[in-house]
Amino acid sequence: MSSPSDIVGAVVEPVLHRSLAELGLVESVTVDGSAAEVTVALVVDDHPAVSELDGRIAEALSAAGIREARVRHTVLDDDRRTAIVDRLHAGGTVPFSDPASSTRVLLISSGKGGVWKSSVTVNLSLALARMGKRVAVVDADVWGFSIPAMLGIDHGPILIDQRMIIPPVAYGVTCASIGFFVREDQPVVWRGPMLHKALEQFLTDFYWGDPDYLVVDMPPGTGDIAISLAGFLPTAEAYVVTTPQAAAQRVAQRAGLMFQTPNIKIPVRAVIENMSWFTGDDGTRYELFGAGGGALLAEKLDVPLIGQVPLVSELREGGDSGRPIVVAKPESEAAAAFAGIAEWVETHRPTKRRNAALRVG
């Protein structure tokens, strides 16, 4: 039987995603009958997940018959903090570019704005998280960043040792966005080199901790960001979002074909159709934006149409309130559509990954 110290040591630290023992954060564990007093060190004094950490410790000890756990906290000194950062954070390297990386990178793309691509990104990410997957989101829509607000994130990332950035978490999903560094009323007027550098920092300076999925919200259309991400993330998979109307489908097709160009060469895996229909109170489906656009686009790109998301007001309201529909109304028709898309993504893994890796710095 494991000792109380071993039980506490096996608890996974919720921000760094490593066991407390591996990180050397267990200071002491004393047991008196059915009660335990535990002291653990925090990496920073403004640790964003103290209550979650304490809950994990209490739950682990409870499973071993220790009904009461009192958790105290200290804060690492500079030397121990630096040692942890040295161990966890290579710096200057995109971890997801390594062919040996277990993280699947999903690029959520669209030909034009207004198809609620970011909503698809957020709700697909949450649907994957509800399946027990560790998910990270990069808001690469630098000009139209919206992911933090959609996830209800009201605080920025944490900087550790002046070189490793811990992304904030919402509903179990971590997130990086330019929105953490500029004001809502501040336009991002950048040329290609600045965009390239910002994306590089998202991928190299943030600590992601080997998620199962990295979901990237692409800007609409084609251009510098797509080219940069193709270099940073050569093993990525692209998913193209469209609406049913013919005009949207024609523009989305350009985004899909962009991934096939010689300087990108990222496989398009599937099409997702958004705003497919509205279901009235009488149960009748109304195809407000036409029909067939998703299926036609899938045919032209020679990939499957893996989901049709209905148009519901709660989908828009959830994005505005920071309570996405997959979380707020998991039993809804739209949430079920995202669950089906997530299930397809999880069960249809690519058979080949490109043997490429990129060192940046």
pTM recorded for the entire structure? 0.87
Q: Which domain holds residue 19?
A: 4-88
Specify whether 116 is located in the same domain as 222.
yes
Burial status of residue 242 (CB atoms within 10 A of its CB: 0-12, 13-18, 19 or more): buried
* Chain segment 180-195, per-residue pLDDT in tens: 887 666 666 566 677 7
Last residue of a domain, one of 53, 71, 88: 88
Number of separate domains in the chain: 2
Please state, rounded to an integer, the average pLDDT across all residues of the chain.
87
Give a yes or no: residue 255 inside a domain. Answer: yes
| CATH of residue 56 | 3.30.300.130
pLDDT of residue 356: 44
| CATH of residue 310 | 3.40.50.300
Of 25-29, 177-181, 254-258, 356-360, the range with the lowest mean pLDDT is 356-360
Specify whether 122 is located in the same domain as 162.
yes
Specify whether 19 is located in the same domain as 75.
yes
* Chain segment 84-116, per-residue pLDDT in tens: 999 888 667 888 888 888 999 999 998 777 788
Please, what sign has the CA dihedral across residues 348, 354, 359, 361?
A: negative
Question: Between residues 338 and 210, which one has the greater pLDDT?
Answer: 338
Give a yes or no: residue 353 inside a domain. Answer: no
Last residue of a domain, one of 88, 121, 138: 88
User: Residue 91's CB: how many other CB atoms inside 10 A?
Assistant: 12
* Chain segment 114-153, per-residue pLDDT in tens: 788 899 999 999 999 999 999 999 998 877 788 999 999 9
The rounded distance, in Å, linking the Cα atoms of 113 and 106 is 19
- Does residue 127 come out as left (phi exceeding 0), alpha (psi in the -120 to 50 range) or beta? alpha
For residues 297-324, average pLDDT:
89
Specify whether 43 is located in the same domain as 185.
no
